[in-house]
Amino acid sequence: MLITLTVNAETKTTSEFSISNLEFITLEINQFELEANVFSDLNDITLNVEDIKVVELAEEVEIAFDTTEHLPENFNELASKNDINWLELELVELVEDVEITFDTTAHLPENFNPLKGRNDIDWSKVELIELEEEIELGFDAKNYLPQNFNPYNGLDSKKEVVKSLY
């Protein structure tokens, strides 16, 4: 069996084709020269951080309509900010069942034992140091608390509660 494929191609050269082709080639050459200038000798460039000027643009957002027209009459966004009694709110914790669909042991080192060495530390010999940092607020916070304020009031505790730290 003999199969032959014959392809005939015809090219037309017009002045318009030549001009656009020349423009394309010129643009490609310019691009190559620009890339060569930008990416060549990167190690020779030394910049000081002080020489870099950072310009932050603070753009104002202009809304082209009056937003107050779309609010209810006598609207006050701060009117009900203290209406929520946070003590009455119930915290609902959603428990999700996680199903792992692959063998997790395949991603652990050979002979991995998570419990190995758990009793190697004698915690009675470890000295825990609690760092107490005094925070300077720049004002006396007691001036902004109600009279007879007790942060421990209402806590269920069998131990004696500290009334004041000062």
For 95-136, the pLDDT digits (tens) are: 888 888 888 888 899 899 988 888 888 888 888 888 788 878
Residue 75: partners with Cβ closer than 8 Å, 6 or more residues away: 68
Q: Which residues contact 112 (CB under 8 A, 6 or more apart)?
A: 105
User: By residue range, what is the domain housing residue 24?
Assistant: 16-41
Cα distances (angstroms) measured from residue 10 to each of 7, 13, 25, 34, 125: 10, 10, 22, 35, 91
Residue 147 lies in a domain: no
- Which residue, 22, 25, 6, is CA-closest to 14? 22
How many Cα atoms are found within 13 Å in the side-chain-facing hemisphere of 17?
4
Count of domains observed in the chain: 1
Contact indicator for 152, 162 with CB cutoff of 8 Å: yes
For residue 76, tell me if it sits in a domain.
no
pLDDT tens-place string over residues 7-63: 555 555 555 556 667 888 888 888 888 887 777 766 666 778 888 888 888 888 888
Residue 21 in any domain: the answer is: yes
Do the domain assignments include residue 23? yes
- Nearest-CA neighbor of 150 among 140, 163, 141? 163
pLDDT of residue 162: 57
Record the tokens describing residue 62, joined without a space: 């202009």
Residue type, position 124, single letter? S
pTM of the model: 0.19
